[in-house]
């Protein structure tokens, strides 16, 4: 017991010092070249404004939370690997000019085909998110990165390790036409070898057109950024709108619930599909990650048709049971009469045709070698 207390105190002190001085993830940090942040209304005293979301927990709170992380299991990881489907690349490679299909690779990683344009959102093709970070519940990524075809764009929501992976980015340099990122994230990418002329860097409410038909807009999110001890909020974070004449989708990245969802819905909605985070929440950080009930409300604020939950069922990043986000979200969605897509990792959702709707997490053990059913959602 004394050893446990000592480990908890040391670990809690390290986490408390890191988070309160700038870190947002564990692992080696990469130096960010000095460059002025010019013209952004989101900058206050040289840092991006986190809407008062700083995780200013007391040292005691961190020690308590660290104890729970280290020594309380609470079904935070499944007993067996969760079901995975090998990715069918045919929908992603389709050149049909009127389609919307999305393959969930686990966590927040998406392969999007919107009217023939191919986009990757927050791609992470590694088993482990950082040197000291958690590994995937379901082992391998559903698709080897070598099999990923050339894409029109890679979109990054923010610089945290579970959304931006150095080795994934480096292996996508030759495959992607553009990397679309929030302000200052470009410095990381350039440091990793991405040519600056391949990078599009946007502030909130700025738009970029790949051509006359495809528009991408950076929109607000309630979160924070940082990859090391000294770079807290030195890069911007964002949610994203992807729009063509035929379809609209919203990608939340990471965000706590806030009034900005309604503003985004009023400006860019309605959306065919909203991809909204629903996991890794906690009472100690209620403003930077949504609780599942808030996810449903955000979907309604955005004027979404189908809700596709992300940021769950892949990594052990919080204290709740691994399945709890979807148990709570489906209850809230049923109550609000919200349609949801519930694929397993590797499965493709095809808008207005066939969408996965099996609540497979309740039968994860039985489904580990079985088929996943689908239902039609118009």
**Average per-residue pLDDT in the chain?**
84
Would residue 56 count as lying in a domain?
A: no
Asked whether the predicted pLDDT for residue 26 surpasses 50, the reply is no
Would residue 70 count as lying in a domain?
A: no
Mean pLDDT in residue range 194-214: 97
Mean pLDDT in residue range 273-301: 95
pTM: 0.86
Would residue 326 count as lying in a domain?
A: yes
Would residue 161 count as lying in a domain?
A: yes
Alpha helices in the chain (DSSP H): 2-21, 59-71, 89-93, 166-172, 185-191, 260-268, 292-301, 324-336, 364-367
Q: Read off the pLDDT of residues 311-349 as tens digits, 9 standing for 90 and up.
A: 999 999 999 999 999 999 999 999 999 999 999 999 999
> Which residues are CB-contacts of 308 (< 8 A; sequence separation ≥ 6)?
102, 104, 273, 274, 275, 276, 340, 341, 343, 349
Read off the pLDDT band of 230 (50, 70, 90).
Answer: confident
State which residues form the domain around 227.
89-375
Burial group, residue 80, by CB count within 10 angstroms (0-12, 13-18, 19+): exposed
pLDDT of residue 204: 96
Would residue 34 count as lying in a domain?
A: no
Read off the pLDDT band of 8 (50, 70, 90).
Answer: very low
Would residue 35 count as lying in a domain?
A: no
Asked whether the predicted pLDDT for residue 30 surpasses 60, the reply is no
Would residue 353 count as lying in a domain?
A: yes
The CATH number that applies at residue 236 is 3.60.15.10
Asked whether the predicted pLDDT for residue 134 surpasses 70, the reply is yes
Q: Read off the pLDDT of residues 71-117 as tens digits, 9 standing for 90 and up.
A: 677 788 888 888 899 999 999 999 999 999 999 999 999 999 999 99
Would residue 233 count as lying in a domain?
A: yes
pLDDT of residue 125: 96
Number of C-beta neighbours around residue 308 at 10 A: 26
What domain count does the chain have? 1
pLDDT of residue 130: 83
Mean pLDDT in residue range 252-269: 97
Asked whether the predicted pLDDT for residue 303 surpasses 90, the reply is yes
Closest C-alpha to 149, from 127, 116, 106, 182: 116
Mean pLDDT in residue range 60-70: 67
């Amino acid at each position: 017991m004394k050893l446990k207390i000592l480990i908890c105190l040391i670990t809690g002190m390290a986490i408390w010092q890191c988070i309160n001085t700038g870190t947002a993830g564990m692992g080696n940090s990469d130096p960010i070249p000095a460059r002025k942040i010019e013209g952004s209304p989101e900058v206050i005293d040289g840092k991006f404004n986190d809407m008062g979301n700083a995780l200013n927990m007391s040292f005691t709170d961190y020690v308590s939370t660290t104890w729970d992380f280290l020594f309380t299991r609470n079904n935070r990881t499944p007993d067996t690997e969760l079901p995975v489907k090998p990715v069918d690349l045919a929908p992603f490679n389709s050149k049909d000019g009127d389609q919307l299909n999305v393959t969930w690779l686990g966590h927040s990683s998406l392969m999007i085909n919107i009217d023939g344009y191919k986009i990757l959102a927050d791609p992470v093709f590694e088993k482990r998110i950082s040197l000291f970070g958690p590994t995937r519940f379901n082992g391998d990524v559903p698709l080897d990165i070598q099999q990923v075809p050339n894409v029109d764009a890679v979109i990054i929501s923010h610089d945290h390790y579970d959304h931006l992976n150095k080795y994934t980015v480096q292996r996508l340099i030759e495959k992607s036409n553009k990397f679309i990122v929030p302000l200052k994230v470009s410095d990381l990418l350039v440091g990793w070898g991405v040519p600056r002329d391949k990078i599009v860097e946007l502030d909130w409410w700025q738009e970029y057109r790949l051509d006359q038909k495809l528009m991408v807009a950076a929109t607000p999110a309630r979160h924070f950024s940082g990859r090391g001890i000294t770079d807290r909020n030195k890069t911007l974070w964002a949610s994203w709108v992807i729009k063509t004449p035929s379809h609209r989708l919203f990608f939340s990245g990471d965000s706590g619930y806030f009034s900005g969802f309604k503003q985004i819905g009023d400006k860019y909605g309605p959306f065919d599909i909203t991809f909204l985070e629903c996991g890794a929440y906690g009472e100690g950080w209620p403003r930077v990650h949504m609780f599942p009930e808030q996810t449903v409300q955000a979907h309604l604020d955005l004027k979404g048709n189908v809700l596709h939950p992300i940021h769950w069922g892949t990594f052990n990043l919080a204290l709740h049971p691994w399945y709890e986000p979807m148990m709570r979200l489906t209850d809230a969605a049923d109550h609000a009469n919200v349609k949801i897509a519930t694929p397993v990792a590797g499965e493709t959702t095809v808008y207005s045709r066939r969408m996965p709707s099996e609540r497979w997490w309740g039968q994860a053990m039985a489904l580990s070698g079985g088929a996943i059913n689908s239902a039609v959602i118009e």
